[in-house]
Amino acid sequence: MAKLEESQFKKISPNIFLIFLLLLYFAWPNKFSQTNSKWLQIPYSEFQKLLAEKKIDELNISDKNIRGKFTYQRTDKKVYFTTNRIEPELAKDLAKSEVTYSRDATSNIFEGILAWVFPIILFYLFWVYLIKKSVDKGGFTGGLMSIGKSRAKLYVETDVKITFSDVAGVEEAKAELREVVDFLKNPEEYGRLGARMPRGILLIGPPGTGKTLLAKSVAGEAQVPFFSISGSEFVELFVGVGAARVRDLFVQAKTKAPCIVFIDELDSLGKTRSGIVGGGLDEKEQTLNQLLAELDGFDTASGVVILAATNRPETLDPALLRSGRFDRQVLVDKPDKAGRIEILKVHIKKIKIDPNINLEHLAALTSGFTGADLANLVNEAALTATRKHSALITEDDFTMAIERIVAGLEKKNRIFNAKEKQVIAFHEMGHTILAIAIPGNDKVHKVSIISRGIGSLGYTIQRPSEDRYIMTKKELLNKIVVLLGGRAAELLIFNELSTGAADDLVKVTNIAEEIVTKFGMSENLGPVVFEEQNNPYMQGMMQNNLHRLRSEDAAKMIDIEMRNIIEDSFQKAIAILSKNRATLEVGAKLLLEKETLVEEDINHLASTVIHN
């Protein structure tokens, strides 16, 4: 029964039902005959009475019943009758009482058989139905026999249309993977000097950076079959199913060699094992053990290349990352400015845009965006232009799309009273004045007091001129000063504080803590790290995690140092805004009138700002 397939179930079910009906027919032949319009079931007492009155004829007598024909015309127009026999001695005694008496038909052999067989058949059909339902719910579309089969999607050579030209912003990763393409196209050349391809190549990077797209492009370039499966699809309710699927996947791959096997979200399958005694009985651990065995059990000369992707490499079992398994790790990081320009060029091919759009300007505004974020940006810009019934997508549409993604949806129905609007205007203008007054800060792109998102009452958008990978202590302190500009402006103008700076204070505290505990920039505490160092997208991430226990004295010194940094920055923000109070008031008034200031308005204000 455990090997019954869905197609077999469909064939067997009608046959079982037919057998059941036949058994039912033979079990109650009298009852079927009694419902026939030709026969009338009468009590035995009536039979004796009619027999004495000579109103019946043509009797057919068996051990259990009597059948005959009426000799007179009945009102119910019945011609034939049947009755169950009663022993003569008993019938004679019963006739004296002048009561109506009859006898129930005794069970035949078929009824006895059916009493045992029917519950079994009923239970059998019900069990098959439940199994079929659980199979369908579990996604085993091929029936019960498909439980141990790999669910990898196979794309043949002509199915994968994506090539390296469709992937932008990850040039280093593409360069690494070109070698894989060359090996698949010409394995003899790579084996000429005894070299071999890595058994497994692991693509590591944040979500949305294009790891899956990059894997597909390798198959598209090499023009080989491409097996694609998610790591979570190996793990099911039944223990051993995942291991069976891993075996089946590699068997299929070897028959299609040369080919590429791509396992997405490897961390859902290959998380670090618990180390608990007896833990090997766990389904996930069995599946991982089978994957490790399969990675050791095939030769790269067979032409099977294993690609995998994860955004959580720190959770992977070390056995997966050792040499001989996933021994090559390719970083697919967020694109830099040049990469973002190339990605935008790829996506704008599918839409109608204004030819005067400055992609370099858009790339500068989208620092930190991944490839998926940029694809979403292009789509949001197209939707914005569509809502405006525009013929082409302009740069303003892209700017509005960036604001929607970064700051959230505009809350036009959120109405502030006059005092709240005034506080928000001075708060945002405080950020703006400080960003202009302190050299080295990113240029202010837009300021608005229109509420966006869940908690944003207003926003100030800065546009970085270039991508930055390291920052000095001075730059970090300047960033804190700008973030405290809103709170400083409120205190300077209204001589009181509001809750509007809550989000700014969270960011300020985090930066101050990193300066002291993570970057070792405190003069009092020295170059000592007190916080965990963790960059999950770099080589050797399993060995570089540092944990330091803080003594009470050290914790107290850290708190004092953080508070001093924030307090000094706050006093600096107040001092700069005091020098520029006239510009602050003019800018806040202009912001209250327009609600949103663009670069042209901000540049006009900048000409009157006294720089620090």
Say how far apart CA 470 and CA 424 lie, in whole Å: 32
Nearest-angstrom CA–CA distance, 180 and 197: 8
319: nearest Cα among 180, 233, 150, 200: 200
The count of other CB atoms within 10 Å of the CB of residue 437 is: 22
Q: Is the dihedral of CA 15, 19, 25, 26 positive or negative?
A: positive
Answer for the pair 115, 190: CB distance below 8 angstroms, yes or no: no
- 285 in catalytic set: no
- Cα angle: 4, vertex 9, 10; to 5 degrees: 155
484 exposure class (CB count in 10 Å sphere: 0-12, 13-18, 19+) = buried
The token duo for 305 is 């290349």
Nearest CA to 368 among 321, 335, 327, 393?
A: 335
**Looking at 176, 285, 428, 490, which residue is catalytic?**
428
Secondary structure class of 281 (helix, strand, coil): helix
Measured between alpha carbons, how far is 299 from 488 in angstroms, rounded to an integer? Answer: 66
Nearest to 515 by CA among 464, 469, 566: 566
- Which helix (H) or strand (E) segment is 308 a member of? strand 304-310
At how many degrees (to 10) do helices 485-494 and 552-579 cross? 60
**Can you spell out the DSSP letters for 498-510?**
-GGGHHHHHHHHH
DSSP strands (E only) in 43-94: 56-61, 65-70, 80-84
Per residue, what are the HEC states of 432-465? HHHHHHCCCCCEEEEEECCCECCCECCEEEEECC
Sequence-ordered list of residues with C-beta below 8 angstroms from that of 594, at least 6 positions apart, any chain: 601
* Side-chain half-sphere exposure of 215, counting CA atoms within 13 A: 30
- What's at 506, amino acid-wise? V
Q: How many helices (H) and strands (E) does the chain have?
A: 22, 13
Angle between helices 552-579 and 502-513 (to 10 degrees): 130
Single-letter amino acid code for the residue at 63: D
With both helix axes pointing from N to C terminus, report the angle between 502-513 and 473-483 in degrees, rounded to the nearest 10.
160
Closest of 87, 36, 35 to residue 64, by C-alpha: 87
Query: 41 CB contacts (<8 Å, ≥6 apart)?
Result: 34, 81, 82, 83
Length of the chain counted residue by residue:
612
Q: Would you please indicate which residues are annotated as catalytic (active-site) residues?
A: 428
